[in-house]
């Protein structure tokens, strides 16, 4: 294995409070100087064992080989993906830590259906780091990365007011405060805007709990100033529940949507923010700021509530724009038996949704993320310059759009739009334009044929006008008028699914196509699933390096970290009209004794006023 780079030096130590005072230009130069010393080091941070491929066993059918990592030592190893009894598994062997076997995709038929939609992006024309190590130890983005940033994450703090039992990330546990200055944040956001062929245009401000920052509104404003079209704030919603002004301020500063954790409809499944969500939604309503609900789905925990979660979304569709489910990513060392109790993959969740909605939302209604690439390619052919493309790996995510009728019937878009047909039509049109045909004639052909793929008689009543429906599509594709997309979006519920990887099911093929990235404090852009799966190499290493000591931060701000603990008043929250209204018709939350509510909160790690 070639060593990372002769340029690597010993990692220096810095005093962040001094660094934060530097003027912007000097700050940029200084931050970038630290990149070589923060990159993962071969032989120190990881090893490479690519010599052997795991064998197939009886009853197993080869699907693919891939590169993966050892969950214990992060060594790069070869893995086999195989089909057994209709499911896809991954097996890998680390010479030092033995064999690991994990469910990769819960249904082989869905795997094959999704695989057909795979398209690759145009790569990164302006890599931030030279190619000096194998993937995934070279992130930055490196020259071999295939997808541009579709959603940029920027962590603005590691402080949090919750003390969830499973979390080791927040400041008190980590032992330092990561909280980049506004100048520093501007630098990071600007770095991601420099990427070609397509700069980042969507950003998620995340943490820790970003709303703990007093200057969160300024951060949103900076993101807007730096050219981000879509800004979302990722929050547990506690402050939103109690401070109606913050929702208004966030919207006025340019926030498009709030990404809010929501793991279920009962206190048992959602002890994190079950009681606060109704109030947060009401305050978002008043502020006219939309929300996307983000459930982490875990087998044996909340998988049985995925249907209710969707119904909750539909009930609040005046303010809830989408439900984006995330099958659990298992971090830390977890024995196989325990993992099997928790593990779900995208097809498993799709199957449960089908069962729990009585077949109203079927597995076939979902499409993998890259399905929409033909839309980008068609627009690109028309406009003659690279467009935003969702070229993530087919196993990473899936989505559909959900409509509904007044009688409560759920109607996925696939009931009245032939998605396969539309995408094939656009694909063919893009190819024709690329090969020199007149783009206006081709576009006219597309518009003429588009109606064949839409059967509005099967659409919800308010969409029965074919003309109206097609006008949305025309405005988006031809006029590039995205207000149409917004208008369309407000009458539907986006249903998404994103399965972030973990050390057990890791697949380098997936990470090379990742389009959900983090910007690091030194300006590197790192895929979500290297940033979070190898925290010692990326997230924690960089954040710790650019952090305050707790004592120093407390002295500077006059705050005490230990005092930033949310204490829940369950009785008061349950007594409010918003609480009753929010769950009415979705879950019988009042049939659960008060003591059980309190216990659920406490068991999760959130103390209760009694």
* Cβ 92 vs Cβ 79: under 8 Å: yes
Q: What are 18's two structure tokens?
A: 């001094």
CB of 54 vs other proteins, minimal distance in Å: 12
Q: Which residue's entry shows tokens 């576009």?
A: 443
Q: What are 118's two structure tokens?
A: 């795979």
Q: Which of 268, 329, 332, 276 is nearest to 301 (CA)?
A: 268
CB of 29 vs other proteins, minimal distance in Å: 20
Task: Please give the residue ranges that form the binding site for other proteins (CB under 8 A).
Answer: 1-2, 6, 48, 50-51, 62-67, 78, 115-116, 118-120, 122-125, 127, 131-135, 142-144, 146, 197, 393-394, 508-509, 512
Cβ closer to other proteins: 88 or 375?
A: 88
Angle of CA points 82, 88, 93, to nearest 5°: 50
CB of 145 vs other proteins, minimal distance in Å: 8
Cβ closer to other proteins: 133 or 423?
A: 133
CB of 122 vs other proteins, minimal distance in Å: 4
Gap between the Cα atoms of 519 and 512, Å rounded: 16
CB of 399 vs other proteins, minimal distance in Å: 18
CB of 484 vs other proteins, minimal distance in Å: 29
CB of 104 vs other proteins, minimal distance in Å: 13
Cβ closer to other proteins: 47 or 304?
A: 47
CB of 131 vs other proteins, minimal distance in Å: 5
Q: Which of 495, 229, 471, 482 is nearest to 379 (CA)?
A: 482
Four-point Cα dihedral 169, 172, 176, 181, nearest 10:
80
Cβ closer to other proteins: 133 or 353?
A: 133
* Cβ 198 vs Cβ 225: under 8 Å: no
Gap between the Cα atoms of 531 and 520, Å rounded: 9
Cβ closer to other proteins: 128 or 273?
A: 128
CB of 147 vs other proteins, minimal distance in Å: 11
* Cβ 539 vs Cβ 144: under 8 Å: no
Cβ closer to other proteins: 198 or 404?
A: 198
Gap between the Cα atoms of 172 and 561, Å rounded: 7
Cβ closer to other proteins: 115 or 229?
A: 115
Cβ closer to other proteins: 143 or 227?
A: 143
Cβ closer to other proteins: 136 or 460?
A: 136
Number of neighbouring beta carbons within 10 Å of residue 511: 24
Q: Which residue's entry shows tokens 């130590």?
A: 13
Q: Which of 238, 361, 335, 352 is nearest to 301 (CA)?
A: 352
Question: Could you tell me what percentage of the chain is helix, strand and coil, using 3-state DSSP and rounding each to the nearest 5?
Answer: 40, 20, 40
């Amino acid at each position: 294995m070639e060593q990372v780079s002769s340029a690597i030096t010993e990692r220096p130590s810095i005093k962040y409070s001094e660094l934060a005072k530097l003027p912007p230009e000097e700050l940029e130069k200084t931050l970038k100087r630290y990149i070589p010393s923060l990159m993962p080091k071969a032989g120190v941070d990881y090893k490479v064992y690519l010599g052997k491929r795991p064998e197939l066993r009886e009853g197993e059918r080869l699907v693919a080989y891939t590169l993966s990592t050892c969950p214990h030592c992060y060594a790069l190893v070869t893995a086999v993906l195989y089909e057994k009894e209709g499911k896809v598994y991954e097996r890998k062997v680390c010479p030092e830590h033995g064999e690991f076997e994990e469910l990769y995709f819960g249904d082989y038929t869905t795997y094959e259906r999704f695989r057909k939609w795979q398209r690759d992006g145009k790569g990164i024309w302006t890599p931030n780091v030279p190619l000096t190590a194998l993937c995934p130890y070279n992130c930055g983005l490196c020259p071999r990365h295939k997808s541009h940033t579709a959603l940029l994450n920027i962590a603005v703090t590691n402080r949090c007011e919750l003390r969830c039992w499973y979390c080791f990330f927040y400041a008190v546990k980590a032992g330092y405060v990561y909280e980049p200055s506004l100048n520093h944040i501007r630098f990071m956001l600007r770095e991601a805007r420099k990427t070609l062929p397509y700069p980042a245009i969507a950003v998620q401000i995340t943490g820790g709990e970003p709303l703990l920052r007093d200057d969160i509104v300024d951060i949103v404003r900076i993101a807007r100033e730096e050219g981000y079209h879509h800004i979302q704030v990722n929050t547990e919603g506690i402050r939103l529940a109690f401070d109606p002004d913050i929702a208004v301020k966030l919207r006025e500063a340019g926030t498009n949507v709030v990404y809010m954790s929501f793991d279920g409809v009962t206190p048992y499944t959602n002890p994190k923010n079950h009681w606060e969500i109704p109030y947060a939604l009401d305050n978002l309503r008043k502020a006219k700021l939309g929300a996307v609900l983000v459930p982490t789905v875990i087998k044996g925990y909340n998988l049985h509530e995925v249907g209710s979660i969707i119904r909750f979304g539909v009930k609040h569709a005046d303010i809830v724009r989408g439900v984006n489910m995330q099958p659990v990513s298992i971090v830390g060392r977890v024995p196989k038996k325990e993992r099997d109790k928790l593990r779900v993959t995208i097809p498993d969740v799709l199957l449960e949704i089908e069962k729990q909605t009585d077949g109203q939302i079927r597995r076939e209604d979902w499409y993998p993320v890259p399905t929409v690439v033909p839309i980008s390619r068609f627009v690109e052919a028309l406009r003659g310059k690279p467009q935003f493309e969702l070229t993530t790996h087919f196993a990473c995510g899936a989505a559909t759009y959900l409509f509904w009728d007044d009688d409560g019937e759920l109607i996925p878009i696939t009931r009245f739009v032939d998605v396969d047909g539309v995408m094939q039509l656009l694909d063919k049109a893009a190819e024709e334009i690329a090969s020199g045909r007149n783009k206006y004639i081709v576009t006219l052909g597309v518009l003429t044929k588009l109606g064949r793929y839409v059967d509005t008689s099967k659409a919800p009543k308010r969409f029965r006008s074919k003309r109206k429906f097609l006008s949305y599509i025309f405005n988006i594709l031809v006029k590039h008028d995205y207000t149409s997309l917004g208008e369309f979006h407000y009458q539907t519920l986006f249903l998404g699914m994103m399965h972030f990887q973990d050390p057990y099911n890791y697949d380098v093929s997936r990470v090379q196509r990742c389009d959900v990235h983090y910007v690091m404090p030194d300006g590197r852009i790192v895929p979500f699933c290297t940033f979070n799966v190898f925290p010692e190499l990326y997230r924690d290493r960089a954040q710790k390096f650019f952090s305050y000591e707790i004592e120093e931060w407390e002295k500077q701000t006059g705050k005490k970290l230990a005092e930033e603990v949310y204490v829940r008043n369950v009785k008061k929250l349950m007594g409010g009209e918003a609480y009753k209204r929010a769950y009415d018709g979705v879950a019988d939350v009042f049939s659960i004794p008060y003591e059980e509510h309190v216990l659920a909160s406490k068991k999760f790690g959130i103390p209760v006023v009694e």
